[in-house]
Homo-oligomer: A and B are copies of this chain.
Amino acid sequence: MQAVILAAGEGTRMRPLTYTKPKVMLPVANKPILQHVIENLARAGVDEVVLVVGYREDTVREHFGDELEGVRIKYVRQTKQLGTAHALLSAKHLLDDRFMMLNGDAIVFEDDLKHLVREKSAIAVREVSNPQDFGVVDVENNSVKEIIEKPENPPSNLINAGIYVFTREIVNYLEKTPLSVRGEYEITDSITMAIADGFEFKAVRIEGWIDVGYPWDLLKANETLLSHVESKIEGEVEDGAVIKGNVVIGEGTVIMAGSYIVGPVVIGQNCRIGPNCYIRPYTAIGDNCHIGNAVEVKNSIIMSSTKVPHFNYIGDSVIGENCNFGAGTKIANLRLDEGEIAVNVKGRVVITGRKKFGAAIGDNVKTGINASINVGTLIGNNVFIGPGAVVDGVVEPNSKVY
Residues of A within 8 A of B (CB): 238, 240, 242, 256-258, 260, 274-276, 278, 292-294, 296, 310-311, 313, 315, 324, 326-328, 330-332, 334, 336-338, 366-374, 384-388, 390
Of the listed residues A257, A367, A368, A369, the one surrounded by the most CB atoms of chain B closer than 10 A to its CB is A369
Q: Would B330 and A328 count as touching, CB distance under 8 A? A: yes
Q: Would A328 and B310 count as touching, CB distance under 8 A? A: no
Chain B residues within 8 Å of A242, by CB: 238, 240, 257-258, 275
Q: Would B368 and A370 count as touching, CB distance under 8 A? A: no
Measured in the bound complex, the distance between the Cα atoms of B384 and A336 in whole Å is: 7
- Minimum CB–CB distance from A375 to chain B (whole Å) comes to 9
Chain B residues within 8 Å of A293, by CB: 278, 294, 296
Measured in the bound complex, the distance between the Cα atoms of B337 and A358 in whole Å is: 25
Measured in the bound complex, the distance between the Cα atoms of B315 and A203 in whole Å is: 63
Q: Can you list 14 A-B contacts with CB-CB less than 8 angstroms, sorted by A residue number?
A: A242-B275, A258-B260, A260-B275, A278-B294, A293-B294, A296-B310, A313-B369, A327-B330, A331-B369, A332-B368, A336-B366, A368-B372, A372-B387, A387-B390
- CB-nearest residue of chain B to A328: B330
Of the listed residues A274, A276, A374, the one surrounded by the most CB atoms of chain B closer than 10 A to its CB is A276
Pairs A-B, 9 closest by C-beta atoms: A313-B327, A388-B390, A260-B275, A330-B369, A336-B366, A336-B384, A372-B387, A294-B294, A278-B293
Chain B residues within 8 Å of A324, by CB: 334
- Minimum CB–CB distance from A277 to chain B (whole Å) comes to 8
Of the listed residues A337, A338, A384, A386, the one surrounded by the most CB atoms of chain B closer than 10 A to its CB is A386
* SS class, residues of chain A in contact with chain B: loop
Chain B residues within 8 Å of A327, by CB: 296, 313, 315, 330, 332
- Minimum CB–CB distance from A259 to chain B (whole Å) comes to 9
A311-B332 contact given A260-B256, A275-B242, CB 8 Å threshold = no
Measured in the bound complex, the distance between the Cα atoms of B133 and A271 in whole Å is: 45
Chain B residues within 8 Å of A332, by CB: 326-327, 368-369, 387
Q: Would A310 and B313 count as touching, CB distance under 8 A? A: yes
Measured in the bound complex, the distance between the Cα atoms of B326 and A327 in whole Å is: 15
- CB-nearest residue of chain B to A369: B330
Q: Would A313 and B296 count as touching, CB distance under 8 A? A: no
A369-B372 contact given A330-B311, A332-B387, CB 8 Å threshold = yes
A388-B388 contact given A242-B275, A369-B313, CB 8 Å threshold = yes
Measured in the bound complex, the distance between the Cα atoms of B336 and A388 in whole Å is: 13
Q: Would B337 and A311 count as touching, CB distance under 8 A? A: no
Chain B residues within 8 Å of A257, by CB: 242, 260
Q: Would A311 and B328 count as touching, CB distance under 8 A? A: yes
Measured in the bound complex, the distance between the Cα atoms of B242 and A371 in whole Å is: 30
- CB-nearest residue of chain B to A296: B293
Chain B residues within 8 Å of A292, by CB: 296
- Minimum CB–CB distance from A283 to chain B (whole Å) comes to 14
A388-B372 contact given A260-B275, A328-B311, A332-B326, CB 8 Å threshold = yes
Chain B residues within 8 Å of A386, by CB: 336, 390
- Minimum CB–CB distance from A161 to chain B (whole Å) comes to 40
